């Protein structure tokens, strides 16, 4: 079996709008029990970390409801809503380097 390495460059420039309707979304990470939460889930520390994490999952998993994500399943469905509101320029995937 031959080994081939291909390097890709993925471009996605988007704006995601996140509506947080429950303060626990941020507090579970930044509040007094944040260390417990991080020990079992993700290494997030700030509200910005949480927003970046949610944005990534909105895009990567095509998920608009944070309650469907690991670590957020105990939230009511309306606690966080996310949507892509704007895509800037072309998105795409290109191979940038290949080793045969």
List pLDDT tens digits, range 36-85.
999 999 999 999 999 999 988 888 888 888 888 888 889 898 999 898 88
Strands 5-11 and 80-87: unpaired
How confident is the model at residue 98, as a pLDDT?
A: 58
Domain of residue 50: give its range.
Answer: 5-99
Which residues, listed in sequence order, are joined to residue 51 by a DSSP beta bridge?
none
d(CA 12, CA 19): 21
Compute CA distances 89 → 4, 12, 38, 47, 58, whole Å.
Answer: 31, 9, 36, 28, 19
Q: Which of 19-33, 53-67, 79-93 has the highest mean pLDDT?
A: 19-33
Total domains, the chain: 1
First-to-final CA distance of the chain: 12
Q: What is the pTM of this model?
A: 0.75
């Amino acid at each position: 079996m031959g080994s081939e390495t291909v390097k890709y460059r993925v471009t996605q420039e988007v704006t995601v709008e996140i509506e947080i309707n429950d303060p626990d979304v941020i507090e579970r990470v930044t509040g007094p029990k944040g260390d417990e939460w991080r020990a079992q889930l993700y290494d997030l520390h700030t509200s910005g970390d949480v927003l970046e994490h949610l944005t990534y999952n909105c895009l990567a998993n095509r998920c608009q409801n944070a309650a469907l994500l690991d670590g957020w399943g105990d939230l009511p469905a309306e606690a966080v809503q996310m949507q892509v509101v704007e895509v800037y320029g072309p998105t795409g995937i290109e191979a940038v380097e290949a080793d045969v």
